[in-house]
Amino acid sequence: MSVEIRRSSTRFTTRAAGRQTRHAFSFGEHYDPERTGFGAMVCHDDHHLRGGTGFETHRHAGVEILTWVVSGALHHRDSLGTDTVLRAGEVALLSAGAGVEHSEIAVEGAGPTRFVQVWLSADDPGAQPRYERAVPGLGAGALVDSGLRPGVEGARLLVGRVPAHRPVALPPAPRLHCYVARGALLRSSLAEPLEAGDAFCFTGEPAHEVTPAVDSELLVWTLP
């Protein structure tokens, strides 16, 4: 059993014209042998884009890609024929399988776009590619299931917009990753306060309770 806190300040940063990405794990020119992933999670990126900028058409294979839009709007196109716009509070799953091409561009006029994207190593890297999206019901002030099922047994994404000072139970799992997308968590027996961009990584831990210091947005992964 273990609890690790990964601070936003330790993320690798990549900058390009109109965008900035903060990587939780080794990516591209950033490499640290001790930070290559967390179980099936091999990428956890926090992207900030100016309208009209982003990632032109590129290819993926063998990964399950979950995208959560924090603010603004993201235009997604892919070789499956998908042409759609994801807005704040919406989530999408692109199962790359045997191979798929896609692009992700911030919608102009929607304000700065920010999205968190996670890649998981697929159980079946040769599967048929697929794309789906969901709009989780966030009004209850608790964690809710995203409704999407990546091709990784035991992996699921819970999301929540939680009011200040309302405790939230993080479920037990072989591995659990809790990311503070916005807001902050109060100091607890687990750690000093967590701020936006910080994350808990639990391995073999029981359920834990955390409490937001201010209205907060949490992205919680249960992983095998």
Give the chain's domain count.
1
- Rounded CA separation 169/220 (Å): 11
Q: pLDDT (tens digit, 9 = 90+) per residue, 46-86?
A: 999 999 999 999 999 999 999 999 999 999 999 999 999 99
Domain containing 175: what range? 2-223
Q: Is 125 exposed, middle or buried (0-12, 13-18, 19+ CB in 10 A)?
A: middle
Sign of the dihedral through C-alpha 160, 163, 166, 167? positive
Beta bridge partners of 5: 200
With beta carbons less than 8 A apart as the criterion, state whether 98 and 122 touch: no
Q: pLDDT (tens digit, 9 = 90+) per residue, 163-208?
A: 999 999 999 999 999 999 999 999 998 889 999 999 999 999 999 9
Q: Which pLDDT band holds residue 24 (cuts at 50, 70, 90)?
A: very high
Global pTM value:
0.95
Instruction: Calculate Rg over the CA atoms of the chain.
Output: 17
User: What CATH number is given to the structural domain containing 189?
Assistant: 2.60.120.10
